[in-house]
Structure 1
Protein backbone atom coordinates (compact mmCIF):
# COMPACT_ATOMS: atom_id res chain seq x y z
CA UNK A 1 0.00 0.00 0.00
CA UNK A 2 1.37 3.41 -1.00
CA UNK A 3 0.52 6.16 1.48
CA UNK A 4 1.05 9.92 1.21
CA UNK A 5 1.01 11.78 4.53
CA UNK A 6 0.02 15.39 3.88
CA UNK A 7 1.51 17.42 6.70
CA UNK A 8 4.54 16.44 8.77
CA UNK A 9 3.84 18.15 12.04
CA UNK A 10 4.03 16.05 15.20
CA UNK A 11 0.99 13.97 14.25
CA UNK A 12 1.79 13.32 10.59
CA UNK A 13 5.49 12.75 11.21
CA UNK A 14 4.78 10.34 14.07
CA UNK A 15 2.32 8.05 12.34
CA UNK A 16 4.07 8.34 9.00
CA UNK A 17 7.32 7.42 10.74
CA UNK A 18 5.77 4.43 12.45
CA UNK A 19 4.49 3.12 9.12
CA UNK A 20 7.89 3.69 7.49
CA UNK A 21 9.45 1.74 10.34
CA UNK A 22 7.08 -1.15 9.56
CA UNK A 23 8.13 -1.21 5.91
CA UNK A 24 5.10 0.59 4.46
CA UNK A 25 5.78 2.75 1.39
CA UNK A 26 5.20 6.23 2.87
CA UNK A 27 5.95 9.65 1.42
CA UNK A 28 5.21 13.13 2.77
CA UNK A 29 3.63 16.21 1.21
CA UNK A 30 4.90 19.32 2.99
CA UNK A 31 5.75 22.98 2.51
CA UNK A 32 9.21 24.03 1.31
CA UNK A 33 10.46 25.01 4.77
CA UNK A 34 9.52 21.68 6.33
CA UNK A 35 10.92 19.81 3.32
CA UNK A 36 14.29 21.52 3.82
CA UNK A 37 14.23 20.66 7.53
CA UNK A 38 13.45 17.01 6.85
CA UNK A 39 16.25 16.85 4.31
CA UNK A 40 18.73 18.34 6.78
CA UNK A 41 17.62 16.71 10.04
CA UNK A 42 15.87 13.53 8.88
CA UNK A 43 12.78 12.07 10.52
CA UNK A 44 13.20 11.20 14.20
CA UNK A 45 10.71 9.94 16.77
CA UNK A 46 11.33 9.95 20.51
CA UNK A 47 8.52 7.90 21.99
CA UNK A 48 7.44 5.50 24.75
CA UNK A 49 6.46 3.22 21.84
CA UNK A 50 10.11 3.14 20.75
CA UNK A 51 12.50 5.60 19.10
CA UNK A 52 12.94 5.63 15.32
CA UNK A 53 15.14 7.49 12.87
CA UNK A 54 15.15 7.68 9.07
CA UNK A 55 17.71 9.92 7.38
CA UNK A 56 16.17 10.12 3.93
CA UNK A 57 12.42 10.26 3.37
CA UNK A 58 10.47 10.83 0.17
CA UNK A 59 9.08 14.36 0.20
CA UNK A 60 6.83 16.24 -2.24
CA UNK A 61 6.15 19.98 -2.19
CA UNK A 62 3.87 20.25 -5.25
CA UNK A 63 0.70 18.21 -5.83
CA UNK A 64 1.66 17.75 -9.47
CA UNK A 65 4.64 15.64 -8.35
CA UNK A 66 2.42 13.03 -6.65
CA UNK A 67 1.53 9.77 -8.38
CA UNK A 68 1.01 6.06 -7.70
CA UNK A 69 -0.56 6.31 -4.23
CA UNK A 70 -3.53 4.53 -2.68
CA UNK A 71 -4.30 6.77 0.29
CA UNK A 72 -3.71 10.35 1.42
CA UNK A 73 -3.58 10.75 5.19
CA UNK A 74 -4.45 14.39 5.75
CA UNK A 75 -2.66 15.47 8.93
CA UNK A 76 -2.77 19.27 8.80
CA UNK A 77 -4.08 21.73 11.36
CA UNK A 78 -7.63 22.97 10.86
CA UNK A 79 -6.47 26.47 9.93
CA UNK A 80 -4.55 25.00 6.95
CA UNK A 81 -7.57 23.09 5.63
CA UNK A 82 -8.62 25.55 2.91
CA UNK A 83 -5.18 25.50 1.31
CA UNK A 84 -4.89 21.73 1.76
CA UNK A 85 -8.25 21.10 0.06
CA UNK A 86 -7.00 22.66 -3.18
CA UNK A 87 -3.94 20.39 -3.09
CA UNK A 88 -6.02 17.31 -2.24
CA UNK A 89 -8.34 18.04 -5.16
CA UNK A 90 -5.40 18.01 -7.57
CA UNK A 91 -3.97 14.82 -6.08
CA UNK A 92 -7.33 13.01 -6.22
CA UNK A 93 -7.89 14.10 -9.81
CA UNK A 94 -4.44 12.77 -10.79
CA UNK A 95 -4.50 9.49 -8.88
CA UNK A 96 -8.10 8.63 -7.91
CA UNK A 97 -6.79 8.25 -4.36
CA UNK A 98 -8.84 7.96 -1.14
CA UNK A 99 -8.46 10.55 1.64
CA UNK A 100 -8.29 9.86 5.38
CA UNK A 101 -8.47 13.17 7.28
CA UNK A 102 -7.12 13.20 10.84
CA UNK A 103 -8.16 16.75 11.66
CA UNK A 104 -9.78 17.76 14.91
CA UNK A 105 -13.45 18.70 14.82
CA UNK A 106 -16.16 17.52 12.44
CA UNK A 107 -16.85 20.28 9.89
CA UNK A 108 -13.94 19.29 7.65
CA UNK A 109 -15.73 16.10 6.53
CA UNK A 110 -18.43 17.96 4.59
CA UNK A 111 -15.88 20.38 3.09
CA UNK A 112 -13.70 17.55 1.83
CA UNK A 113 -16.67 15.57 0.54
CA UNK A 114 -17.83 18.59 -1.43
CA UNK A 115 -14.33 19.01 -2.87
CA UNK A 116 -13.51 15.43 -3.93
CA UNK A 117 -16.73 13.44 -3.59
CA UNK A 118 -18.33 11.53 -0.72
CA UNK A 119 -16.99 8.20 -1.94
CA UNK A 120 -13.39 9.40 -1.54
CA UNK A 121 -13.41 10.63 2.09
CA UNK A 122 -13.00 8.16 4.95
CA UNK A 123 -13.79 8.94 8.56
CA UNK A 124 -11.00 9.05 11.10
CA UNK A 125 -8.99 10.83 13.75
CA UNK A 126 -5.80 10.46 15.75
CA UNK A 127 -5.02 10.58 19.45
CA UNK A 128 -1.50 11.44 20.55
CA UNK A 129 0.21 13.92 22.84
CA UNK A 130 3.27 15.02 20.91
CA UNK A 131 5.12 18.09 19.70
CA UNK A 132 8.06 18.97 17.45
CA UNK A 133 11.37 20.15 18.93
CA UNK A 134 13.59 22.83 17.40
CA UNK A 135 15.01 20.28 14.94
CA UNK A 136 11.57 19.19 13.77
CA UNK A 137 11.85 15.87 15.59
CA UNK A 138 8.80 14.33 17.26
CA UNK A 139 8.63 14.31 21.06
CA UNK A 140 5.85 11.85 21.92
CA UNK A 141 5.02 12.01 25.64
CA UNK A 142 1.78 10.03 26.03
CA UNK A 143 1.84 6.28 26.55
CA UNK A 144 0.35 5.19 23.25
CA UNK A 145 -0.62 6.77 19.93
CA UNK A 146 -3.72 5.80 18.00
CA UNK A 147 -5.42 6.31 14.65
CA UNK A 148 -9.04 5.23 14.33
CA UNK A 149 -10.60 5.05 10.88
CA UNK A 150 -13.62 3.62 9.12
CA UNK A 151 -15.66 3.63 5.93
CA UNK A 152 -18.29 6.29 5.28
CA UNK A 153 -19.14 4.82 1.86
CA UNK A 154 -19.38 1.23 0.56
CA UNK A 155 -16.72 2.00 -2.04
CA UNK A 156 -14.16 2.45 0.74
CA UNK A 157 -14.27 -1.09 2.15
CA UNK A 158 -11.27 -2.39 0.19
CA UNK A 159 -8.94 0.46 1.13
CA UNK A 160 -10.06 0.11 4.77
CA UNK A 161 -9.16 -3.59 4.69
CA UNK A 162 -5.68 -2.78 3.36
CA UNK A 163 -5.11 -0.12 6.01
CA UNK A 164 -6.36 -2.46 8.73
CA UNK A 165 -3.65 -4.97 7.79
CA UNK A 166 -0.96 -2.42 8.66
CA UNK A 167 -1.99 -2.41 12.33
CA UNK A 168 -0.33 -5.78 12.97
CA UNK A 169 3.00 -4.39 11.74
CA UNK A 170 3.30 -0.99 13.42
CA UNK A 171 4.50 -0.02 16.90
CA UNK A 172 1.35 2.01 17.49
CA UNK A 173 -2.41 1.54 16.93
CA UNK A 174 -4.20 1.90 13.58
CA UNK A 175 -7.68 0.64 14.37
CA UNK A 176 -10.71 0.16 12.14
CA UNK A 177 -14.10 1.08 13.60
CA UNK A 178 -17.56 0.38 12.26
CA UNK A 179 -19.23 3.38 13.95
CA UNK A 180 -16.50 5.82 13.00
CA UNK A 181 -18.72 8.91 13.14
CA UNK A 182 -19.57 8.24 16.78
CA UNK A 183 -15.89 7.71 17.56
CA UNK A 184 -15.08 11.00 15.82
CA UNK A 185 -17.67 12.77 17.92
CA UNK A 186 -16.29 11.20 21.10
CA UNK A 187 -12.88 12.62 20.20
CA UNK A 188 -14.36 16.01 19.29
CA UNK A 189 -16.20 16.22 22.61
CA UNK A 190 -13.15 15.27 24.64
CA UNK A 191 -10.63 17.46 22.79
CA UNK A 192 -12.90 20.51 22.89
CA UNK A 193 -12.99 20.26 26.67
CA UNK A 194 -9.33 19.23 27.11
CA UNK A 195 -7.89 21.83 24.73
CA UNK A 196 -10.20 24.57 25.93
CA UNK A 197 -9.59 24.20 29.65
CA UNK A 198 -5.82 23.60 29.49
CA UNK A 199 -5.35 26.57 27.15
CA UNK A 200 -7.68 28.92 29.02
CA UNK A 201 -5.98 28.16 32.36
CA UNK A 202 -2.55 27.75 30.69
CA UNK A 203 -1.99 24.74 32.95
CA UNK A 204 -1.56 20.97 32.47
CA UNK A 205 -4.45 18.70 33.28
CA UNK A 206 -3.28 17.80 36.79
CA UNK A 207 -4.20 21.26 38.06
CA UNK A 208 -7.62 21.01 36.42
CA UNK A 209 -8.31 17.56 37.89
CA UNK A 210 -7.33 18.70 41.40
CA UNK A 211 -9.64 21.73 41.38
CA UNK A 212 -13.30 20.76 41.52
CA UNK A 213 -14.35 24.21 40.29
CA UNK A 214 -12.08 24.04 37.23
CA UNK A 215 -12.88 20.40 36.57
CA UNK A 216 -16.55 21.35 36.74
CA UNK A 217 -16.04 23.79 33.85
CA UNK A 218 -14.44 21.06 31.72
CA UNK A 219 -17.27 18.67 32.56
CA UNK A 220 -19.88 21.24 31.49
CA UNK A 221 -18.11 21.55 28.13
CA UNK A 222 -18.33 17.79 27.70
CA UNK A 223 -22.07 17.77 28.37
CA UNK A 224 -22.69 20.77 26.10
CA UNK A 225 -20.83 18.93 23.34
CA UNK A 226 -22.76 15.73 24.06
CA UNK A 227 -26.02 17.63 23.54
CA UNK A 228 -24.70 18.91 20.21
CA UNK A 229 -23.83 15.38 19.12
CA UNK A 230 -27.35 14.21 19.91
CA UNK A 231 -28.77 17.05 17.81
CA UNK A 232 -26.52 15.86 14.97
CA UNK A 233 -27.98 12.35 15.23
CA UNK A 234 -25.14 10.73 17.20
CA UNK A 235 -26.41 8.65 20.13
CA UNK A 236 -24.18 9.54 23.09
CA UNK A 237 -25.61 8.98 26.56
CA UNK A 238 -25.12 10.93 29.78
CA UNK A 239 -23.23 7.91 31.14
CA UNK A 240 -20.79 8.02 28.21
CA UNK A 241 -20.28 11.75 28.73
CA UNK A 242 -19.65 11.13 32.43
CA UNK A 243 -16.94 8.59 31.54
CA UNK A 244 -15.27 11.15 29.28
CA UNK A 245 -15.11 13.58 32.19
CA UNK A 246 -13.63 10.91 34.44
CA UNK A 247 -11.02 10.16 31.75
CA UNK A 248 -9.74 13.73 32.07
CA UNK A 249 -8.79 12.91 35.64
CA UNK A 250 -7.02 9.73 34.53
CA UNK A 251 -4.50 11.56 32.35
CA UNK A 252 -0.96 12.04 33.66
CA UNK A 253 -0.86 15.19 35.78
CA UNK A 254 1.65 16.83 33.42
CA UNK A 255 -0.34 16.04 30.26
CA UNK A 256 -1.61 18.97 28.26
CA UNK A 257 -3.27 19.59 24.91
CA UNK A 258 -1.59 20.39 21.61
CA UNK A 259 -3.52 23.67 21.67
CA UNK A 260 -1.90 24.60 24.98
CA UNK A 261 1.51 23.56 23.61
CA UNK A 262 0.92 25.79 20.58
CA UNK A 263 -0.10 28.65 22.86
CA UNK A 264 3.12 28.29 24.86
CA UNK A 265 5.12 28.48 21.59
CA UNK A 266 3.15 31.49 20.36
CA UNK A 267 1.74 29.50 17.43
CA UNK A 268 -1.76 29.74 15.90
CA UNK A 269 -4.55 27.84 17.66
CA UNK A 270 -7.37 25.66 16.32
CA UNK A 271 -9.93 27.55 18.38
CA UNK A 272 -12.06 28.32 15.31
CA UNK A 273 -12.16 24.66 14.30
CA UNK A 274 -12.93 23.23 17.75
CA UNK A 275 -14.80 25.70 19.96
CA UNK A 276 -15.82 27.85 16.97
CA UNK A 277 -17.14 24.83 15.10
CA UNK A 278 -19.20 23.87 18.14
CA UNK A 279 -20.72 27.35 18.24
CA UNK A 280 -21.72 27.12 14.57
CA UNK A 281 -23.40 23.77 15.16
CA UNK A 282 -25.12 25.15 18.26
CA UNK A 283 -26.46 28.08 16.24
CA UNK A 284 -27.78 25.66 13.60
CA UNK A 285 -29.77 23.81 16.26
CA UNK A 286 -30.63 26.92 18.35
CA UNK A 287 -28.87 25.31 21.32
CA UNK A 288 -27.25 27.27 24.16
CA UNK A 289 -23.62 26.34 24.93
CA UNK A 290 -22.55 29.10 27.35
CA UNK A 291 -19.38 27.46 28.68
CA UNK A 292 -18.01 26.70 25.21
CA UNK A 293 -18.91 30.25 24.18
CA UNK A 294 -16.94 31.61 27.15
CA UNK A 295 -13.85 29.51 26.38
CA UNK A 296 -14.07 30.59 22.75
CA UNK A 297 -14.08 34.24 23.82
CA UNK A 298 -11.06 33.73 26.07
CA UNK A 299 -9.03 31.88 23.43
CA UNK A 300 -10.00 33.83 20.30
CA UNK A 301 -7.35 36.57 20.77
CA UNK A 302 -4.66 33.85 20.57
CA UNK A 303 -6.00 32.37 17.32
CA UNK A 304 -3.16 33.74 15.17
CA UNK A 305 -0.46 33.33 17.80
CA UNK A 306 0.50 35.32 20.87
CA UNK A 307 -1.18 38.76 20.75
CA UNK A 308 1.27 41.67 20.45
Structure 2
Protein backbone atom coordinates (compact mmCIF):
# COMPACT_ATOMS: atom_id res chain seq x y z
CA UNK A 1 0.00 0.00 0.00
CA UNK A 2 1.44 3.34 -1.11
CA UNK A 3 0.95 6.29 1.24
CA UNK A 4 1.25 9.94 0.26
CA UNK A 5 1.78 12.16 3.30
CA UNK A 6 0.78 15.70 2.37
CA UNK A 7 3.55 17.71 3.97
CA UNK A 8 6.29 16.84 6.42
CA UNK A 9 5.32 19.27 9.15
CA UNK A 10 4.44 18.42 12.70
CA UNK A 11 1.71 15.89 11.83
CA UNK A 12 2.85 14.55 8.47
CA UNK A 13 6.47 14.43 9.57
CA UNK A 14 5.68 12.53 12.73
CA UNK A 15 3.20 9.94 11.48
CA UNK A 16 4.90 9.59 8.09
CA UNK A 17 8.25 9.18 9.77
CA UNK A 18 6.91 6.47 12.06
CA UNK A 19 5.43 4.62 9.09
CA UNK A 20 8.76 4.79 7.25
CA UNK A 21 10.48 3.57 10.40
CA UNK A 22 8.16 0.53 10.29
CA UNK A 23 9.12 -0.18 6.68
CA UNK A 24 5.98 1.12 4.99
CA UNK A 25 5.88 2.65 1.50
CA UNK A 26 5.59 6.38 2.25
CA UNK A 27 6.25 9.42 0.07
CA UNK A 28 6.02 13.00 1.33
CA UNK A 29 4.38 15.64 -0.87
CA UNK A 30 6.45 18.76 -0.22
CA UNK A 31 6.69 22.36 -1.24
CA UNK A 32 10.04 23.40 -2.72
CA UNK A 33 11.34 25.09 0.44
CA UNK A 34 10.60 22.10 2.70
CA UNK A 35 11.97 19.73 0.05
CA UNK A 36 15.26 21.64 -0.01
CA UNK A 37 15.43 21.59 3.78
CA UNK A 38 14.81 17.84 3.99
CA UNK A 39 17.33 17.15 1.25
CA UNK A 40 19.89 18.96 3.39
CA UNK A 41 19.05 17.71 6.90
CA UNK A 42 16.84 14.67 6.39
CA UNK A 43 13.66 14.19 8.38
CA UNK A 44 14.41 14.58 12.09
CA UNK A 45 11.90 13.64 14.79
CA UNK A 46 12.55 14.14 18.49
CA UNK A 47 10.08 12.26 20.67
CA UNK A 48 9.69 10.70 24.11
CA UNK A 49 9.02 7.46 22.21
CA UNK A 50 12.37 7.53 20.44
CA UNK A 51 14.09 9.90 18.03
CA UNK A 52 14.21 9.45 14.27
CA UNK A 53 16.83 10.51 11.74
CA UNK A 54 15.77 9.63 8.19
CA UNK A 55 18.50 10.94 5.87
CA UNK A 56 16.66 10.68 2.53
CA UNK A 57 12.93 10.15 2.98
CA UNK A 58 11.10 9.71 -0.35
CA UNK A 59 9.45 12.96 -1.40
CA UNK A 60 7.88 14.57 -4.44
CA UNK A 61 6.72 18.00 -5.59
CA UNK A 62 3.14 18.41 -6.78
CA UNK A 63 4.15 18.93 -10.42
CA UNK A 64 6.13 15.67 -10.39
CA UNK A 65 3.30 13.33 -9.31
CA UNK A 66 2.84 10.83 -12.13
CA UNK A 67 0.80 7.97 -10.65
CA UNK A 68 -1.99 7.67 -8.07
CA UNK A 69 -1.44 6.63 -4.46
CA UNK A 70 -3.52 4.24 -2.37
CA UNK A 71 -3.88 6.45 0.71
CA UNK A 72 -3.42 10.22 0.93
CA UNK A 73 -3.01 11.52 4.49
CA UNK A 74 -3.90 15.21 4.83
CA UNK A 75 -2.94 17.22 7.90
CA UNK A 76 -2.84 20.79 6.60
CA UNK A 77 -4.39 23.80 8.25
CA UNK A 78 -7.96 24.49 7.14
CA UNK A 79 -7.06 27.86 5.62
CA UNK A 80 -4.61 26.07 3.30
CA UNK A 81 -7.00 23.31 2.24
CA UNK A 82 -7.87 24.68 -1.20
CA UNK A 83 -4.23 24.89 -2.29
CA UNK A 84 -3.51 21.58 -0.57
CA UNK A 85 -6.27 19.81 -2.52
CA UNK A 86 -4.92 21.27 -5.73
CA UNK A 87 -1.44 19.98 -4.91
CA UNK A 88 -2.42 16.36 -4.29
CA UNK A 89 -5.18 16.09 -6.91
CA UNK A 90 -2.85 14.37 -9.44
CA UNK A 91 -2.29 11.59 -6.87
CA UNK A 92 -6.01 10.72 -6.66
CA UNK A 93 -6.93 7.67 -8.71
CA UNK A 94 -10.06 5.50 -8.99
CA UNK A 95 -9.28 3.58 -5.79
CA UNK A 96 -7.51 6.26 -3.76
CA UNK A 97 -8.60 6.81 -0.16
CA UNK A 98 -8.17 10.23 1.46
CA UNK A 99 -7.57 10.29 5.22
CA UNK A 100 -7.85 13.85 6.62
CA UNK A 101 -6.59 14.71 10.11
CA UNK A 102 -7.94 18.28 10.37
CA UNK A 103 -10.13 19.44 13.24
CA UNK A 104 -13.77 20.37 12.74
CA UNK A 105 -16.04 19.06 9.98
CA UNK A 106 -16.27 21.50 7.07
CA UNK A 107 -13.07 20.14 5.53
CA UNK A 108 -14.89 16.83 5.05
CA UNK A 109 -17.56 18.60 3.01
CA UNK A 110 -14.94 20.35 0.88
CA UNK A 111 -12.99 17.14 0.25
CA UNK A 112 -16.18 15.28 -0.66
CA UNK A 113 -17.22 18.05 -3.04
CA UNK A 114 -13.83 17.92 -4.79
CA UNK A 115 -13.08 14.19 -4.81
CA UNK A 116 -16.34 12.36 -4.13
CA UNK A 117 -18.00 10.93 -1.04
CA UNK A 118 -16.65 7.42 -1.50
CA UNK A 119 -13.01 8.51 -1.35
CA UNK A 120 -13.06 10.38 1.98
CA UNK A 121 -12.63 8.67 5.33
CA UNK A 122 -13.02 10.30 8.72
CA UNK A 123 -9.94 10.80 10.83
CA UNK A 124 -8.37 12.60 13.74
CA UNK A 125 -5.13 12.60 15.66
CA UNK A 126 -4.19 13.33 19.26
CA UNK A 127 -0.68 14.71 19.46
CA UNK A 128 1.16 17.86 20.47
CA UNK A 129 3.97 18.48 18.01
CA UNK A 130 5.64 21.39 16.26
CA UNK A 131 8.46 22.22 13.88
CA UNK A 132 11.44 24.11 15.25
CA UNK A 133 13.43 26.71 13.32
CA UNK A 134 15.67 24.01 11.86
CA UNK A 135 12.77 21.95 10.55
CA UNK A 136 12.90 19.24 13.19
CA UNK A 137 9.64 17.66 14.33
CA UNK A 138 9.38 18.07 18.09
CA UNK A 139 6.90 15.71 19.78
CA UNK A 140 5.91 17.51 22.97
CA UNK A 141 3.79 15.08 24.99
CA UNK A 142 3.10 11.39 25.55
CA UNK A 143 0.17 11.16 23.13
CA UNK A 144 0.57 10.08 19.51
CA UNK A 145 -2.79 8.61 18.60
CA UNK A 146 -4.45 8.42 15.20
CA UNK A 147 -8.06 7.28 14.66
CA UNK A 148 -9.73 6.67 11.31
CA UNK A 149 -12.74 4.93 9.84
CA UNK A 150 -15.72 4.99 7.53
CA UNK A 151 -17.78 8.11 8.18
CA UNK A 152 -21.01 6.13 7.97
CA UNK A 153 -19.75 3.71 10.63
CA UNK A 154 -18.81 0.07 10.67
CA UNK A 155 -15.73 -1.58 9.17
CA UNK A 156 -14.67 -2.07 5.57
CA UNK A 157 -12.00 -3.91 3.63
CA UNK A 158 -10.08 -0.71 2.98
CA UNK A 159 -10.08 0.28 6.65
CA UNK A 160 -8.82 -3.20 7.52
CA UNK A 161 -6.08 -2.85 4.89
CA UNK A 162 -4.96 0.46 6.40
CA UNK A 163 -5.08 -1.09 9.88
CA UNK A 164 -2.69 -3.80 8.72
CA UNK A 165 -0.26 -1.13 7.50
CA UNK A 166 -0.48 0.87 10.71
CA UNK A 167 0.05 -2.22 12.85
CA UNK A 168 3.61 -2.24 14.13
CA UNK A 169 4.24 1.47 13.60
CA UNK A 170 5.32 3.38 16.70
CA UNK A 171 2.09 5.29 17.31
CA UNK A 172 -1.35 4.38 18.63
CA UNK A 173 -3.68 3.64 15.70
CA UNK A 174 -7.39 2.93 16.12
CA UNK A 175 -9.75 1.79 13.38
CA UNK A 176 -12.93 3.35 14.74
CA UNK A 177 -16.45 2.25 13.87
CA UNK A 178 -17.76 5.58 15.23
CA UNK A 179 -15.32 8.03 13.67
CA UNK A 180 -17.90 10.76 12.96
CA UNK A 181 -18.90 10.75 16.64
CA UNK A 182 -15.23 10.78 17.62
CA UNK A 183 -14.56 13.76 15.36
CA UNK A 184 -17.47 15.74 16.77
CA UNK A 185 -16.31 15.05 20.33
CA UNK A 186 -12.83 16.26 19.51
CA UNK A 187 -14.29 19.32 17.78
CA UNK A 188 -16.32 20.17 20.88
CA UNK A 189 -13.21 20.03 23.04
CA UNK A 190 -10.89 21.83 20.59
CA UNK A 191 -13.41 24.65 20.04
CA UNK A 192 -13.92 25.04 23.79
CA UNK A 193 -10.24 25.08 24.65
CA UNK A 194 -9.26 27.26 21.68
CA UNK A 195 -12.05 29.75 22.31
CA UNK A 196 -11.37 29.99 26.03
CA UNK A 197 -7.56 30.17 26.12
CA UNK A 198 -7.41 32.49 23.08
CA UNK A 199 -10.02 34.84 24.54
CA UNK A 200 -8.40 34.94 27.97
CA UNK A 201 -4.81 34.79 26.69
CA UNK A 202 -4.12 32.37 29.50
CA UNK A 203 -3.74 28.71 30.37
CA UNK A 204 -6.54 26.56 31.75
CA UNK A 205 -4.87 26.66 35.16
CA UNK A 206 -4.56 30.45 35.18
CA UNK A 207 -8.21 30.80 34.22
CA UNK A 208 -9.16 28.42 37.03
CA UNK A 209 -7.05 30.38 39.54
CA UNK A 210 -8.96 33.51 38.52
CA UNK A 211 -12.22 31.81 39.44
CA UNK A 212 -13.19 31.28 35.81
CA UNK A 213 -14.37 27.67 35.95
CA UNK A 214 -17.93 28.79 35.29
CA UNK A 215 -16.81 30.56 32.12
CA UNK A 216 -14.91 27.45 31.03
CA UNK A 217 -17.92 25.23 31.61
CA UNK A 218 -20.22 27.69 29.85
CA UNK A 219 -18.27 27.52 26.59
CA UNK A 220 -17.83 23.74 26.84
CA UNK A 221 -21.51 23.14 27.55
CA UNK A 222 -22.50 25.39 24.64
CA UNK A 223 -20.28 23.39 22.27
CA UNK A 224 -21.79 20.15 23.59
CA UNK A 225 -25.29 21.52 22.96
CA UNK A 226 -24.45 22.41 19.37
CA UNK A 227 -23.08 18.92 18.78
CA UNK A 228 -26.26 17.43 20.24
CA UNK A 229 -28.39 19.62 17.98
CA UNK A 230 -26.54 18.11 15.01
CA UNK A 231 -27.11 14.55 16.17
CA UNK A 232 -23.73 13.98 17.82
CA UNK A 233 -24.27 14.57 21.53
CA UNK A 234 -20.96 13.85 23.26
CA UNK A 235 -20.98 10.59 25.15
CA UNK A 236 -20.86 10.73 28.96
CA UNK A 237 -17.17 9.81 29.18
CA UNK A 238 -16.25 12.58 26.73
CA UNK A 239 -18.32 15.12 28.68
CA UNK A 240 -16.77 14.12 31.99
CA UNK A 241 -13.26 14.20 30.58
CA UNK A 242 -13.79 17.54 28.83
CA UNK A 243 -15.28 19.27 31.85
CA UNK A 244 -12.42 18.04 34.03
CA UNK A 245 -9.72 19.23 31.62
CA UNK A 246 -11.38 22.60 31.06
CA UNK A 247 -11.41 23.37 34.80
CA UNK A 248 -8.21 21.65 36.00
CA UNK A 249 -6.39 23.75 38.64
CA UNK A 250 -2.77 24.37 37.79
CA UNK A 251 -3.07 23.05 34.24
CA UNK A 252 -0.51 24.64 31.86
CA UNK A 253 -2.62 23.68 28.85
CA UNK A 254 -3.31 26.21 26.12
CA UNK A 255 -4.80 25.46 22.71
CA UNK A 256 -2.62 25.57 19.60
CA UNK A 257 -4.79 28.46 18.37
CA UNK A 258 -3.67 30.49 21.38
CA UNK A 259 -0.04 29.65 20.54
CA UNK A 260 -0.65 30.78 16.95
CA UNK A 261 -1.95 34.13 18.22
CA UNK A 262 1.07 34.61 20.47
CA UNK A 263 3.42 34.20 17.51
CA UNK A 264 1.29 36.30 15.19
CA UNK A 265 0.36 33.40 12.91
CA UNK A 266 -2.88 32.70 11.00
CA UNK A 267 -5.66 30.98 12.97
CA UNK A 268 -8.50 28.61 12.06
CA UNK A 269 -11.16 30.90 13.50
CA UNK A 270 -13.80 30.18 10.87
CA UNK A 271 -13.16 26.44 10.61
CA UNK A 272 -13.04 25.66 14.34
CA UNK A 273 -15.24 28.31 15.98
CA UNK A 274 -17.25 30.02 13.26
CA UNK A 275 -18.45 26.83 11.60
CA UNK A 276 -19.55 25.40 14.94
CA UNK A 277 -21.50 28.58 15.71
CA UNK A 278 -23.11 28.33 12.30
CA UNK A 279 -24.49 24.89 13.19
CA UNK A 280 -26.17 26.11 16.41
CA UNK A 281 -29.98 26.01 16.64
CA UNK A 282 -31.91 29.06 15.54
CA UNK A 283 -33.58 31.36 18.05
CA UNK A 284 -30.70 31.56 20.51
CA UNK A 285 -30.52 34.12 23.29
CA UNK A 286 -29.81 37.69 22.12
CA UNK A 287 -27.09 37.88 24.78
CA UNK A 288 -23.74 36.92 23.19
CA UNK A 289 -22.42 33.61 24.48
CA UNK A 290 -18.80 33.01 25.48
CA UNK A 291 -18.29 31.09 22.22
CA UNK A 292 -19.65 34.02 20.20
CA UNK A 293 -17.44 36.49 22.08
CA UNK A 294 -14.42 34.25 21.49
CA UNK A 295 -15.21 34.15 17.76
CA UNK A 296 -15.48 37.94 17.51
CA UNK A 297 -12.19 38.20 19.40
CA UNK A 298 -10.50 35.88 16.88
CA UNK A 299 -11.94 37.73 13.90
CA UNK A 300 -10.71 41.01 15.38
CA UNK A 301 -7.25 39.45 15.66
CA UNK A 302 -7.44 38.43 12.00
CA UNK A 303 -8.47 41.95 10.98
CA UNK A 304 -5.62 43.46 12.97
CA UNK A 305 -3.15 40.99 11.49
CA UNK A 306 -4.34 41.74 7.95
CA UNK A 307 -4.02 45.48 8.51
CA UNK A 308 -0.48 45.11 9.84
CA UNK A 309 0.50 43.08 6.79
CA UNK A 310 -0.43 45.89 4.38
1:303 is paired with a residue whose SS is helix
> Residue 104 of structure 2 contacts residue 271 of structure 2 at CA under 8 Å; is this kept in 1?
yes
Q: What TM-score, normalized to structure 2?
A: 0.89
Task: Give, in whole Å, the separation in 2 of the partners of 1:217 and 1:196.
Answer: 11
Task: Give, in whole Å, the separation in 1 of the partners of 2:72 and 2:61.
Answer: 14
Q: Counterpart in 2 of 1:85?
A: 85
Q: Deviations over 1:224-267 (max 9, x none)?
A: 11111111111335674243111335698333322122222221
Q: Residues 23-102 of structure 1 correspond to what in structure 2 (within 5 A)?
A: 23-62=23-62, 65-92=65-92, 94=93, 96-102=95-101
> Residue 4 of structure 2 contacts residue 72 of structure 2 at CA under 8 Å; is this kept in 1?
yes
> Residue 119 of structure 1 contacts residue 153 of structure 1 at CA under 8 Å; is this kept in 2?
no
Q: Residues 280-295 of structure 1 correspond to what in structure 2 (within 5 A)?
A: 280-282=278-280, 285-287=282-284, 290-295=289-294
Unaligned runs of 5+ in 1: none
1:96 is paired with a residue whose SS is coil
Task: Give, in whole Å, the separation in 2 of the partners of 1:125 and 1:303.
Answer: 26
Q: What TM-score, normalized to structure 1?
A: 0.89
> Residue 268 of structure 1 contacts residue 302 of structure 1 at CA under 8 Å; is this kept in 2?
no
Q: Counterpart in 2 of 1:208?
A: 207
> Residue 206 of structure 2 contacts residue 250 of structure 2 at CA under 8 Å; is this kept in 1?
no
Q: Residues 101-112 of structure 1 correspond to what in structure 2 (within 5 A)?
A: 101-112=100-111
2:143 is paired with a residue whose SS is coil
Task: Give, in whole Å, the separation in 2 of the partners of 1:95 and 1:136.
Answer: 34
Q: Counterpart in 2 of 1:259?
A: 257
2:151 is paired with a residue whose SS is coil
Structure number with larger C-alpha Rg: 2
Note the C-alpha offset of 1:191: 0.6
Q: Residues 180-191 of structure 1 correspond to what in structure 2 (within 5 A)?
A: 180-191=179-190
- Say yes or no: does 1:236 pair with 2:245: no
- Say yes or no: does 1:3 pair with 2:3: yes
Task: Give, in whole Å, the separation in 2 of the partners of 1:262 and 1:73.
Answer: 23
> Residue 10 of structure 1 contacts residue 131 of structure 1 at CA under 8 Å; is this kept in 2?
yes
